[in-house]
Amino acid sequence: MGKYPELKGKVAVITGAGRRKGLGEAMARRLAAEGVKVVLTDIGRGQGENLPENAVGTTAEMEEIAREIRDAGGEVATFSCNVLEPQEVQSAAEFALGHFGSLDIWVNNAGIGYLMEPIVEMAVDKWDAVLGVNLRGTFLGIKYAAEVMLRQGRGGRIINIGSQASKSGFAHAAAYTASKHGMVGLTRSAALELGPEGITVNTICPNHVTTGLGAWQNAHFSEVTGKGHDRYMEDMRARIPLGRPGLQEDIAKACAFLCSDEASYITGEAMNVSGGEEYH
């Protein structure tokens, strides 16, 4: 039995859950271990050209993750979804309802974290891409998940995956930072609108987590800062009171908590999960 038995039989959709070592994979495994029926979604296409490793979940990866969750006793389905496309996001919500009979939890995890450039060098189309996936995609997830939850009439949980960049600015990451700050405002407005219907909306704000994409970020910023990888990571650990970067499992634990009855009176929050690095 999981830590939160009340979650058994609930149905969750997690976007951006087709990447190995990603937050989506970790949250899917944790919720499935709690007895949640999980729909994994990702863009489900090839990685494309000039993308860092693990930037986009592929169909093959997503199916492998699903198979492993099933082998561990979980109930899981997969659905290809580009969060920039309203019809695809709406279809993902309706798929969960049709396949598992309900939609109780929606996790907006899909995001772009690899377009990191100085403002004066960043092309407008790259800015639009980051804001599109990270903020528009979250808006669409909230919109279409809430439509189904309102129709069901028994509340629900919407969880957005923000960042330390939801609270603080970072050089060479203006688009990412703007999108994650915007996510917090969107979370607060959605919580006000949906709270009377029993739907909570919260954002989890991790500090750096060395996912597959996070490893690319480490290498990128080690080069940008001129510190080298070892010094860059040493400096990162030194500014975190608990002495280490975040782990995928840290975020998965926070997600499970916010889905549970223990968090039934929490909404509109931007919850830091940062080892004490971010505290406002």
Backbone angles phi, psi at 52, to 5 degrees: -60, 155
Longest CA span, the chain? 54
The span from the CA of 11 to the CA of 249, in Å, is 20
Residue ranges with strand state E in 15-152 = 37-42, 76-80, 105-108
Catalytic residue among 4, 114, 176, 232: 176
Q: How far is CA 274 from CA 10, 25, 109, 151, 264, in A?
A: 28, 19, 17, 36, 22
Residue 11 identity: V
Question: In one letter, which amino acid is 28?
Answer: A
Burial (CB < 10 A; 0-12, 13-18, 19+), residue 96, is buried
Three-state secondary-structure class, residue 190: helix
Rounded to whole angstroms, how far apart are CA atoms 48 and 25?
Answer: 21
Burial 126-163 (b: 16+ CB within 10 A, else e): ebeebbebbbbbbbbbbebbbebbeeeeeebbbbbbbb
- Give catalytic status of residue 176 as yes or no: yes
Neighbours of 196 (CB within 10 A): 7
Considering 4, 167, 180, 232, which one is annotated as catalytic? 180
144 as an active site residue: the answer is no
- Which residues form the catalytic set? 176, 180
